[in-house]
Amino acid sequence: MATEERSISHRPRTAPSRRSRTRVTVIESRRPGIMAAVAELWRYRRFTMFFGRRLLAKRYARTWLGLLWLPLRPVLNVATKLLVFGGLIGITAGDIPYPVFFLLASAAWALFSECVLWSTRSLDVNRGLLRDVHIPRLVVITSAIVPSLVDFAIGIGLAAIAVIYYLVREDVFYLHLTILSPFVVLAALTLIALLGVGIGLVTASAGARARDVRFAVSYLLSFGYFLTPVIYPFDFIPDRYKPLVELNPLTGAIELFKLGVFPDERVSPEAMTVTIVAVLALWIPGLWLFQRNEARDW
């Protein structure tokens, strides 16, 4: 619903020198269309942080350690995977120490996976509040970026510790940062977040009705994790399988992120094309489908 205030001025016949003003509040439904939904999202953007904090509070509710789990979860997660993939299996990343490579790539993956999971759950988590207060549901879904950025920031912090460790130990700075690096990294993170929230546009309404959707999304993410060059470099993939991995929409965004921080990285045009097409294919039909479900379910 959009609220518009109009001021109506009129001059009474009995007192032509005096002017009275009457304030009229007009409440009307939001005009249909994707652009109207985006405009409404911008108007209510301040609520994004509020709902993002609610998602974080939901995750650590009824725990003994509380917010201590905020850094503890990603630390335990990456430590276990580093032990398995870097230690037991012995995956390498060329001239870059594997912990540096893995921690940076995992931070980018965490941004995507958390966006997908939280945007899928967002409507269900805030169901009670949304039935009492009018807030555009699109704002609630995009608030999934807030907890996702928190996990991403923790991952970047762990990667920074690894970079400093190797700088002190070997006197080598393994990152390749240029004047364009911030722009490349920002573009990659934007694509990753758009992919994650775009999937949430499709799954959120169904996820609010049935938990099966949440379980299915979790399993698909676990499967997609191994098809995305996160635990291994893209060059590690045999040539005959590279076109298949490039069909993964996240491959282009992850490789673009690596391009901004690692030397001798490249991004194939095919992978970037798939990523951009996937973003458009998720958001344009996704917004239309979400508006349809929003009007029906809420």
Rounded to 5°, the CA angle 32-34-40 comes to 80
Contact between 156 and 108 under an 8 Å Cβ cutoff? The reply is no
In a domain, 41, yes or no: no
CB within 8 Å of 254: residues ≥ 6 apart: 105, 108, 109, 188, 192, 228, 229, 230
Identify whether 23 is part of a domain. no
In a domain, 37, yes or no: no
40 inside domain: no
CB 148 within 8 Å of CB 193: yes
Q: Give yes or no for a contact between 44 and 136, defined as CB atoms under 8 angstroms apart.
A: yes
**Is 180 a domain residue?**
yes
* Domain-embedded: residue 285: yes
1 belongs to a structural domain: no
At 3, is the secondary structure helix, strand, or coil? strand
The pLDDT tens digits along the chain (298 residues) read: 444 444 444 445 555 545 556 666 544 555 555 676 677 777 877 888 888 888 887 777 777 777 788 888 888 989 999 999 988 888 988 889 999 999 999 999 999 999 999 888 888 878 777 777 777 788 888 898 999 999 999 999 999 999 999 999 999 999 988 899 999 999 999 999 999 999 988 888 777 777 778 888 989 999 999 999 999 999 889 999 999 999 999 999 999 999 999 988 889 999 999 999 999 999 888 787 777 666 555 5
Global model pTM greater than 0.85 = no
- CA torsion 29-30-33-38 (nearest 10°) is -160
Tell whether 138 is covered by a domain: yes
Tell me if 114 sits within 8 A of 148, measured CB to CB: yes
CA–CA gap between residue 167 and residue 275 (Å, rounded):
34
Number of domains comprising the chain: 1
Domain ranges, residue 293:
47-297
DSSP class of residue 61 equals T
